[in-house]
Structures are given as structure tokens and as C-alpha cells.
Structure 1
Amino acid sequence: MIPNILSIAGSDPSGGAGIQADIKAISANGGYAMAVITGLTAQNTRGVRALRMVDPGMITAQIAAIREDIRIDAVKIGMLGDAGTVQTVADALEGLEASVILDPVMVAKGGYRLLAADAVDALRTRLVPKAAILTPNLPEAADLLDMAEAVDINAMRDQGERLLALGCEAVLMKGGHLMGSAPDLLIEPSGVTELIAPRIDTPNTHGTGCSLSSALAARIGMGDPPQVAVRHAKSFVTDAIAEAHRLKVGGGHGPIHHFHRI
């Protein structure tokens, strides 16, 4: 059965991140992609120029329309922008029996803040406890915990365990910001799984976090256990980065090649 995967996130008109990347990653990993748009950005591969949030009532209406008609097998949550949107999405998902993959999108690669500072507590208290898997990079984990950013794998593990204690079922700590290798840690109540992939020297990494969480949602929606789903999603993104040179999109951080396997 093809799983129905709902992405709740912002739009990237350049196609490399956000809803556009989510649809590509979900589709490339065997899911049927649905999309609720939380915000509109004006951006390209060089950075974000502007952000306008969607009215909370419209976000609620989008989610309600899907819930009343379509089976949802998993949900991926990305950019939410502000505290009101966090609360709106949390309320709209109440009672839904589907695994939630939460990608706490806070800052774009170019440095533009995509989650207001006063919304971090709402994300921490309303949505982190709903997550089957939380997928922060190191700056996002530090922001959620109000701590200094992890600088080694031991600090990564400590912060991942602290995030797990906030109520989610598992945490995937993404170590791409560390120097040297790029280890990820899947932290579950049963233990810690270390995932290592070679670091690829390329500027084409726009949308990697969006794509990883969306691929993960597709695999979880198919029924994969977390360790299997995480390994599949990480392999998919690693290969998509390695094949990104086949695309010629913009002059900044280019997108990954979602459809490299076709």
C-alpha cells in the first residue's frame, strides 16, 4: 500500500527546500505527498528575502479538509514561523493517530530566522511531545534546550537524551555541523544508534533537513521501524547530495537531486 504522507511546512519558490522538497522526497521514497502550507517565503539558493505567514484559520481549514476525507499515515512538520502557528497546528492535529516527524526548522542556511524566538517554548511544549521522531540539527537542538551548541559526539548524545526527556518517542540528532565526519545519532529509550556517512564536499545542500525528515515520514508511513526508516532516509539524502552536481540551479547553496534513483 502506498502511504499518504502529510507535510505541514512553508513554501520555497526555488524548489530546493520546504514544501517543494518535501513533495519530491516523499514521492521519491514511495509515498503519496499532501501539503499544508504554513508560510510563503521569497527565497532562492542565495538566501531568504522575505517571509509571510498564512492566516491560522486557513491552516486549520487545510488540515481539517484533509482529515475529513483522506487517510493520513504519517505527518512531517517543518517551518511553522511563529507561536500562533505552532499552537494552531498542534490543535488541528489533536486526536490524529498517525506518526509525526518533527523537523524543528528555525534558521535558514543563509542565516534568516524562520521561527520567532518566542515560539521556541510553544514548539517545545506543544509539538515535541507529539513527535514519533524529532530531527534537530545541532543549532536547533541547542535552541530547544537553551544550551550551547554541541561540539562533539558526547555532547550530541547528552542533548539528544535531554530532548527525548521532553516527551517525544525518539530523537535523530543530525551532526552535519561537526567538523570532520558527519555522525547522526538515533536516540531511543532502548539505546543509541550511531549512523556514519562520508562528508561530501559540495555547496549543494539546500533542503537536506527538509528532505531527510520527509523521506523518514514516508518510510515510517510504510510501517518501517525507526532504525530501518532512519537508515533508509539517511542513505537517500547522502546519495541525493552526491548526485546534486547533475543539477544546475542557482549560484548559492544548490538543491540536492531528489530523483537521482530514477
Structure 2
Amino acid sequence: MTATPKTALTIAGSDSGGGAGIQADLRTFFACGVHGMTAITAVTVQNSLGVQGFTDIPSDVVAAQIKAVAGDMGVDAAKTGMLATAEIIRTVAKTLDEVHIGGAEGAPFVVDPVAASMHGDALLREEALEAIRTELFPRATLVTPNLDEVRLLTGVEVKGPESQREAARALLTFGPQWVLVKGGHLYDSPRCVDLLSDGARFIELEGPRHPTEHTHGGGDTMASAITASLAKGLGVPDAVAEGKRFIERAVEESYPLGEGVGPVSPFWRLADGD
């Protein structure tokens, strides 16, 4: 009999194209060797060309999904993705407290604040952004915004290393234990640098920049890989380093699919047997 793996919960929207959202999270959890569980917050109509529409799941149904899996199977780590509305965000925060996820004593909790499209357009109204700041960030072990989400959440326009640190400090004022300011779109160079900080430490994680346009689901995949490592018991710096290693290979092995932007690929882990 196979030993029971660690468990990871994703609270996010469904991507009908399979490249991002719940689907990307589950692909990554599997590749990282943890058992994935879901609480679906929205059903999107999307493909490689973009999102054509979405329907929110009632907030009480989102809460019931979280309670069902946490109460029966347990959650070693959890993450959020698309939460769609302020009501869902507030409900998720309340429910996480009830099942002991996040905060100082709960299971590790990663907030991927899906608030901007890949083109930088806002996906959430200000009411929902404020709920992320006040309800989710104080409970977060780690937050992982991209640069457009940093701008929407803090007003800081990241243009270089100093403003990247300024953004990290601004995000930490909302109460998370750690922040990861991703720099994939920051530097015009063959290297990209992500900045991890808990306020006392500023850790630069440098990696290669791969020349591909197929990066759909990259943020979800990195956050999921970090969550999987936290579920296995790694500390935040080591988990983030593992997540960066995972996404570097996933981008390198990304593939075209459909007429638009293809997804990053977790298949490298299976091929490498790593």
C-alpha cells in the first residue's frame, strides 16, 4: 500500500482551458508529490485566447468545500487563486480561521492575489482588493503578487531593485509573514530576480529568463509548487527556492496550445523522474 502523501488545498477558479487556476494547481500538486484538494470559487469560460466570461460560486458553497476536505482529510498547506468577489474573500478568511489554516498557529497559507490579467488590467474591484489586504494578507504565511498586482495593492510601481524592496515593505504592512515580489517582467536582461522578504531579511532569488511567449498559468504554478513544498514541511525560504526551480523548468518546457498563449508545463518533473 502506498504511504499517504501530504495534502494541499487550492481555493481558486476553474480554467476550462486547463492552463491556469484549479487545473494548473492540481497538475503542479501531482508533479510535486502531494495530494491536491479543491474549493472552486468560480467557473471561467476561457481558452488560450483569454477569458470570455465567468460565474461565481456562492460563498456558502465555497466555505462548505473547504470545511468538507479540512474536516475529513486534513490540510497540510493551502493556497488561494482567483476569489472573484469581496464576499467570497471574507467568507474564505472566516472559514480558514475555523479550520485552522493560516495565521501564526494554522497550516501554511499562500495567497496568490489574482488581481490583474497578464496584460496588467485589473480583474477585481477596489472593494475586493481591500478585502485581500485586510482579510487575507494578515492570515498569510506568504503572498506572491506579480508586479501589476503589487501596483494595484500598494500603489508602488516597481521599476528596479530599490522599488522592488519598497514594494516588499509596503506589502508587509498588511500583515503577511513573508512576501515574494516576483521580478519576471522587471529586468531587461537574461536573468530574472524575485525578492523574498519577511522585513528583516531580503533574499534575492535569481534565475534564467527563457525566451517563450507561452507562460499561461505561470503564477499559479509557482504558488502551487511553493505550497506543495510547505505541505512537505519545508520552511518558507527553502519552499520558495523549490518553487522557483519548478517554475523555471516549467517555463522552459512550456508548449504551444491553441491559437493564443500556451501553458507552462509541469511535465518536466515526470520526464526527469525528479
TM-score bucket (shorter structure): over 0.9
Equivalent AA in structure 1 for residue 230 of structure 2: I
**CA pair 46-112 structure 1, distance change in 2 beyond 3 A:** farther
Question: Which ranges of structure 2 fall in alignment gaps of 5 or more residues?
Answer: 101-105
Equivalent AA in structure 2 for residue 31 of structure 1: V
Matches of 1:110 and 1:227, distance apart in 2 = 29
Answering whether residue 239 of structure 2 is matched by residue 229 of structure 1, we say: yes
| Matched-pair contact (CA < 8 Å) for 2:210–2:251 | yes
- Give CA-to-partner distance per residue, 1:191-242, whole Å, 9 cap, x none: 1100111111101100000000010000011111111111111011100111
The partner residue of 1:83 within 81, 86, 97 is 86
CA displacement at 1:251 relative to structure 2 = 1.9
CA displacement at 1:60 relative to structure 2 = 1.3
Equivalent AA in structure 1 for residue 165 of structure 2: R
The partner residue of 2:31 within 28, 32, 35 is 28
Counterpart residue number, 1:3:
6
| Matched-pair contact (CA < 8 Å) for 1:206–1:256 | yes
Matches of 1:193 and 1:112, distance apart in 2 = 29
CA displacement at 1:148 relative to structure 2 = 3.9
Q: How does 1:59-98 map to 2 (within 5 A)?
A: 59-95=62-98, 96=100, 97-98=106-107
- What number of residue pairs does the alignment pair up? 259
Counterpart residue number, 1:260:
268
Matches of 1:49 and 1:110, distance apart in 2 = 15
Equivalent AA in structure 2 for residue 5 of structure 1: A
SS of the aligned residue for 1:197 comes to: strand
Answering whether residue 109 of structure 2 is matched by residue 100 of structure 1, we say: yes
- Give CA-to-partner distance per residue, 1:176-202, whole Å, 9 cap, x none: 121323210001133110011111110
Q: How does 1:99-248 map to 2 (within 5 A)?
A: 99-110=108-119, 113-145=122-154, 147-180=155-188, 181-244=191-254, 247-248=255-256
Equivalent AA in structure 2 for residue 117 of structure 1: E
CA displacement at 1:26 relative to structure 2 = 1.1
Counterpart residue number, 2:52:
49
Matches of 2:200 and 2:31, distance apart in 1 = 30
Q: CA RMSD in A?
A: 1.3
Matches of 2:149 and 2:256, distance apart in 1 = 29
CA displacement at 1:261 relative to structure 2 = 2.0
Matches of 2:203 and 2:122, distance apart in 1 = 31
CA displacement at 1:155 relative to structure 2 = 0.1
**CA pair 14-111 structure 1, distance change in 2 beyond 3 A:** farther
Matches of 2:120 and 2:236, distance apart in 1 = 31
- Give CA-to-partner distance per residue, 1:162-182, whole Å, 9 cap, x none: 211211100011011213232
Matches of 1:152 and 1:94, distance apart in 2 = 37
Equivalent AA in structure 2 for residue 77 of structure 1: T
SS of the aligned residue for 2:5 comes to: coil
| Matched-pair contact (CA < 8 Å) for 1:215–1:233 | yes
- Give CA-to-partner distance per residue, 1:141-162, whole Å, 9 cap, x none: 11111x1421111101111012
CA displacement at 1:252 relative to structure 2 = 1.3
SS of the aligned residue for 1:37 comes to: strand
| Matched-pair contact (CA < 8 Å) for 1:47–1:112 | no
Highest RCO, 1 vs 2 (Cα 8 Å, sep ≥ 6): 1
